[in-house]
Amino acid sequence: MSEEKNNLDLLIIEWFKNIMFNTNKDTILLLNISYGFKQELLKNLKENFTTNNYHIVFIEQLHRYSSTNNVICITENIDKKDMTILNEIFKGKSFLYIPNNHSFYQNVNSFTNPSTLQHSQNIPIPNNERYTYYLEKIEPYNLLKYSKDGLIDFVVYRIKNLGRLVDIKYILDLLVNNTTYKYDDINYYQRLFNDDIILLHSKKILTSRLATILYRLATFELNANTTKIGRYFHDKSGNKSKVYNPKSCGFALQNLKYKSFKAYDLNVNESELAIRKEIAAKLKSLNILDLDIGLISEVTGLSIENVKKSTF
């Protein structure tokens, strides 16, 4: 059994253990199954638990349980027409998602048996690995702190998990809408964003199209407009996007519709740099004898050359 699968097994057991000990759990258990499974699950829980401190609901009823703990949410594929509610469904909620090929569905009792639960141990999951098991909103800018492999994994996992709820081609159509990505083969999507992630980690240049993908996946706002996303990354990075081409950034991107592309240079915070230059200019204008260029450079963190160029 792989470590990833074993961890998910333990998290599922931990979830049901909270029911057995009458502990509130705000994480929602998300099952992607047919309606017929509900009766089997109810029967099993009644046999194993003396408490009834849980609710089994279908995803379209979830809004009624916004402040209720111990919710098991059942869904078949979400209709495309209902995609607008996806953001609301995940708003402020954390879902422990059980894929429909997991052994839980063939042997529910092995995860709900009181003897198993009694002797189980809780498992801590690092915040930067929660996407492996949970569907929940993430602050988009925090994704830029992930390692290269971690960011690639996040994109792949999130698309795969959403693709189990909604048609994956439809997910990809929404993700790349109004970006310069192009793709023809649905099986190619795992490599679609890799070049941009490599550019981010090797040059600290975040392409606007990757920023769009990360924002949409992190927030579940799959139809978020690029203007809103651009404003978000401008506010967070202190930089406006600029036009690049492979020669200017020293990196050739694949799947580009055009030769040039927009990106954020994360090597420097332009807003912060402007403030530093303004402070340097004001210090120079004071004409204090002991406040020379070198000291101003040390105080502001600017190079001597930048201090010399600083003016009101």
What is the residue extent of each domain of the chain? 3-136, 140-265, 270-309
Amino acid 78: pLDDT: 64
3-class state of residue 250 by DSSP: coil
pLDDT value at residue 1: 43
Q: How far is CA 232 from CA 10, 126, 158, 237, 307, in A?
A: 37, 26, 21, 9, 30
Kindly give the parts of the chain with pLDDT less than 70.
Answer: 1-5, 34-36, 65-69, 76-88, 183-187, 252, 254-258, 269-284, 286, 289-291, 296-303, 306-312
| Residue pair 100/32 in contact by the 8 Å Cβ criterion | yes
- pLDDT above 90 coverage of the chain, percent: 21
Is the pTM higher than 0.85? The answer reads no
Please tell me the distance from the alpha carbon of residue 96 to that of residue 132, in angstroms, as a whole number. Answer: 10
Sheet containing strand 55-58, edge to edge, reads 55-58, 71-75, 28-32, 94-98, 134-136
Measured CA to CA, the distance from residue 52 to residue 178 in angstroms comes to 48
Tokens of 158: 């999130």
Contact between residue 172 and residue 183 where contact means Cβ atoms under 8 Å apart? yes
Instruction: Please name the amino acid found at residue 245.
Output: N
- In angstroms, the CA 53 to CA 68 distance is 10
Q: What is the pLDDT of residue 126?
A: 87
Spatial distance between the Cα atoms of 250 and 231, rounded to a whole number of angstroms: 26
